[in-house]
Structure 1
Amino acid sequence: MKLGSDHEVEMVDGEELAQLKRDFTGYTFGLVRLNPGHWIFPSDFMKFADKLYNFKFKANDVLIMTYMKCGTTWMQEMVWTMRNNSNLDHAATDDAINSRVPFLECDMFLGSTAVPPPDPESSLCKEFAQLCPGKNPEDGFFLQMADAIPEPRTIKTHLPLSLFPPELLDTVKIVYVARDPGDVAVSYYHHAMLFKSAGYVGSFESFISNFMDDNLLYGPYWLHVKEAWEKRNHPNLHFVFYEDLKADIMGELKKLDTFLGTNVNPHQINKIRDFTRFEKMQERGNVFTQTGEPDPFTIPMIANQHGGFFRKGKSGGWRERMNDNQVKLMEEWTTQRFTSNGITFNSPRLE
Structure 2
Amino acid sequence: MEMDIPTHPRGAKAHGHYMTNDDESVKIPAMMVKEEGFQAVYKAIKSYKWKDEDFLLATYPKNGTNFMWEIMTMLLRGTAEYIKDFKSLCMADLFPVTKLDEDNLFPSPRVLNTHYRLEGLPSEFGGKKTVLVIRNPKDVCVSYFNMESRLPWPKVGHVDGDIKSMSLDNYIKIFLYGKDVPFGNYFDYIDYMWNLRDLPNVHLVYYEDLILEPVETIKKLDDFMGTGRPLELIEQIADATSFDKMQKGKASQGHDNKALLSILRTDEATLQKTLKLMFRKGKIGDWKDTFTVADNELFDAFLDQWQTGKEIPFKYVAHK
TM-score range, shorter chain: 0.7 to 0.9
Which has the larger displacement, 333-342 or 155-164? 333-342
* Alpha-carbon distance, 1:289 to partner: 5.5
What is the aligned counterpart of 2:56 among 57, 60, 63?
63
What is the aligned counterpart of 1:234 among 189, 194, 199?
199
The C-alpha deviation readout for 1:20-52, integer Å capped at 9, x for no partner, is: 44xx6x99x714457866732256446543531
Question: Which residue does the alignment assign to 2:317?
Answer: 348
Note the 1:1-351 alignment, pairs <5 A. Answer: 20-21=8-9, 30-32=15-17, 39-42=28-31, 44=35, 45=38, 48-49=41-42, 51-86=44-79, 88=81, 93-99=83-89, 102-107=90-95, 140=96, 143-145=98-100, 148=104, 149-166=106-123, 168-170=125-127, 172-197=128-153, 198-201=161-164, 202-214=166-178, 215-286=180-251, 290=255, 294-297=268-271, 299=273, 308-337=277-306, 339=308, 342-348=311-317
* Alpha-carbon distance, 1:316 to partner: 1.6
* Alpha-carbon distance, 1:281 to partner: 1.4
How has the CA–CA distance of structure 1 residues 295 and 233 changed in structure 2, closer, same or farther, with 3 Å as cutoff? Answer: farther
How has the CA–CA distance of structure 1 residues 314 and 87 changed in structure 2, closer, same or farther, with 3 Å as cutoff? Answer: closer
Q: Distance in 2 between matches of 1:244 and 1:87?
A: 19
Which has the larger displacement, 68-77 or 334-343? 334-343
Q: Distance in 2 between matches of 1:54 and 1:75?
A: 26
* Alpha-carbon distance, 1:70 to partner: 0.4
* Alpha-carbon distance, 1:310 to partner: 1.0
Q: Distance in 1 between matches of 2:70 and 2:190?
A: 21
SS class of match (1:263): coil
* Alpha-carbon distance, 1:176 to partner: 0.7
Q: Distance in 2 between matches of 1:212 and 1:61?
A: 34
Q: Distance in 1 between matches of 2:80 and 2:62?
A: 28
Asked if 2 retains the 8 angstrom alpha-carbon contact of 1:285 and 1:310, the reply is: no
Q: Distance in 2 between matches of 1:36 and 1:349?
A: 40
Q: Distance in 1 between matches of 2:185 and 2:200?
A: 26
SS class of match (1:65): strand
SS class of match (2:30): strand
How has the CA–CA distance of structure 1 residues 256 and 290 changed in structure 2, closer, same or farther, with 3 Å as cutoff? Answer: same
Asked if 2 retains the 8 angstrom alpha-carbon contact of 1:96 and 1:287, the reply is: no
* Alpha-carbon distance, 1:346 to partner: 1.7
How has the CA–CA distance of structure 1 residues 271 and 340 changed in structure 2, closer, same or farther, with 3 Å as cutoff? Answer: closer
SS class of match (1:296): helix
Q: Distance in 2 between matches of 1:65 and 1:160?
A: 8
Asked if 1 retains the 8 angstrom alpha-carbon contact of 2:49 and 2:124, the reply is: no
Question: Which residue does the alignment assign to 1:113?
Answer: none
Asked if 1 retains the 8 angstrom alpha-carbon contact of 2:131 and 2:204, the reply is: yes
Q: Given residue 326 of structure 1, which amino acid in structure 2 is its aligned partner?
A: D
* Alpha-carbon distance, 1:188 to partner: 0.4
Q: Distance in 2 between matches of 1:53 and 1:74?
A: 27
The C-alpha deviation readout for 1:197-255, integer Å capped at 9, x for no partner, is: 35321222221111112242112111112222101111110111112222211110111
SS class of match (1:106): coil
SS class of match (2:208): helix
- Aligned Cα RMSD in Å? 3.4
Question: Which residue does the alignment assign to 1:119?
Answer: none
How has the CA–CA distance of structure 1 residues 226 and 289 changed in structure 2, closer, same or farther, with 3 Å as cutoff? Answer: farther
Query: Identity over aligned residues, as a percent?
Result: 26
Asked if 2 retains the 8 angstrom alpha-carbon contact of 1:98 and 1:288, the reply is: no
The C-alpha deviation readout for 1:50-103, integer Å capped at 9, x for no partner, is: 531442111111011100000000001000001113253xxx83343334xx11
Asked if 1 retains the 8 angstrom alpha-carbon contact of 2:218 and 2:234, the reply is: yes
Q: TM-score, normalised by structure 2?
A: 0.77
Q: Distance in 2 between matches of 1:75 and 1:287?
A: 19
